[in-house]
Amino acid sequence: MTAISAIDVNKHYGDFAALDNVSIEIPDGSLTALLGPSGSGKSTLLRVISGLEVPDTGRVLIAGEDVTALTPQKRGIGFVFQHYAAFKHMTVRDNVAFGLKIRKRPKAEISARVDELLEIVGLAGFQRRYPSQLSGGQRQRMALARALAVEPKVLLLDEPFGALDAKVREDLRTWLRRLHDEVHVTTVLVTHDQEEAMDVADRIAVLNAGRIEQIGSPRELYEEPANDFVMSFLGPVA
């Protein structure tokens, strides 16, 4: 099953093609990385999938439904950005519960779901803290739990670890992998970090200048790069 399809997507800013006839199919339950240098169109593709950006031409399907004309709120997506805006005056627990509360879910259901997610992201003991009392890495783990609370069809992550230092980023990769293995939600991770993509994703789409150069498993890309760009961008993996 295909969770997300982008079909013949074009997005121009003036004469500049940010996305040049991009098509991609993202399998159900996969953790797919959109990997490429700065300016290659990764965020634009993610924003088109989410509905934050309207493509000039092309279509987006989520779980088989054509969502091209739908607002982001109607697409069933969870989103985490590099700079996550937590509600500062709410506890960790209330931040994660927020989306469920506005959907008026039963209290017992909210409580069970929040407990489960905070456990998975290693924040079970931090429920009553406020975001300012968390480290940067803990805050992004809270953001992941919050995005997943409402059981989105797909989870979209745009450089979620980008602002953090190397050790914390590595740690977060492990958390993301664990979370994905537990919750099985189809996840798309935007990153410019080859090592991060190779380490965490089961499929990687390599972008360059608004085009997809190759899509495959980390191993396929490493062993059979489609062209010089992919080879040089992936570089020698240590």
Which residues bind to ligand ADP, rule: CB under 6 A?
A: 13, 18, 36, 38-44
Residues forming beta bridges with residue 205, ordered by sequence position: 34, 215
Which of 30, 43, 140, 214 is close enough to bind Mg ion by CB under 5 A?
43
**5, interface contact from Mg ion, ligand ADP, none, CB < 5-8 Å by kind:** none
Distance CA 206, CA 65 (A): 25
Q: How far is CA 150 from CA 78, 113, 117, 128, 224, in A?
A: 8, 9, 11, 20, 39
Least CB distance from residue 127 to ligand ADP, whole Å? Answer: 34
**137, interface contact from ligand ADP, Mg ion, none, CB < 5-8 Å by kind:** none
Residue type, 142: M
Nearer to ligand ADP, 54 or 69 (CB): 54
Nearer to ligand ADP, 82 or 91 (CB): 82
Nearer to ligand ADP, 44 or 186 (CB): 44
Least CB distance from residue 98 to ligand ADP, whole Å? Answer: 27
Distance CA 16, CA 197 (A): 27
Distance CA 52, CA 54 (A): 7
**39, interface contact from Mg ion, ligand ADP, none, CB < 5-8 Å by kind:** ligand ADP
Least CB distance from residue 19 to ligand ADP, whole Å? Answer: 8
Q: How far is CA 204 from CA 61, 77, 163, 197, 219, in A?
A: 19, 20, 22, 7, 10
**40, interface contact from ligand ADP, Mg ion, none, CB < 5-8 Å by kind:** ligand ADP
Length of the chain: 238
Binding site for Mg ion (CB under 5 A): 43
